[in-house]
Amino acid sequence: MDDSIILPTPTSGSRHLRILLVEDHEETLASLSLHLTGGGHFVTTARSAAEALTIARGGMPDILLCDITLPDADGCELLARLAENRPPLCIAMSGYGMNADLRRSQRAGFHHHLTKPFLPDDLDALLPRN
């Protein structure tokens, strides 16, 4: 019996994005990574801010999808450390979704703030198409 997972074929009009996914919760990391790669995107994962910074030194992705609460730093701090080398699109993810939380992520430089739990369609709506 073959236990391999068959990922969906990306649609012909979709743009294949390079995404740096920073998330310390293993199940969330796995499900988001599977969803994004299933959509034809190239996903690199990091479980901490330090790991994300190391990865970013090798080349900046098109999108940073980052949890705000990380084990070694805050996602807003990570964005500040990236400084001038930020990806063109930065999306924050957090279980906190009050207006103050949204303003804080916006002031840090995130373009969007997704409050967990969110639907895959909520994320897909923020990704550029072509």
Question: How far is residue 65 CA from its own chain's centroid?
Answer: 2
Tell me if 66 is assigned to some domain. Answer: yes
* Whole-number pLDDT of residue 14: 55
Tell me if 67 is assigned to some domain. Answer: yes
Work out the angle between the directed axes of helices 75-82 and 49-57 (0-180°, nearest 10): 20
Residues 15/18/22/26 CA torsion (nearest 10 deg)? 70
Q: 24-72, pLDDT tens digit by residue?
A: 999 999 999 999 999 999 999 999 999 999 999 888 899 999 999 999 9
pTM of the model as a whole: 0.87
In the predicted structure, residue 7 carries a pLDDT above the cut 60: no
Domain residue limits at 120? 30-124
Tell me if 65 is assigned to some domain. Answer: yes
Distance CA 72, CA 52 (A): 11
CATH number, position 109: 3.40.50.2300
Instruction: Please tell me the total count of domains within the chain.
Output: 1
In the predicted structure, residue 125 carries a pLDDT above the cut 70: yes
Tell me if 9 is assigned to some domain. Answer: no
Q: 59-105, pLDDT tens digit by residue?
A: 889 999 999 999 999 999 999 999 878 899 999 999 999 999 999 99
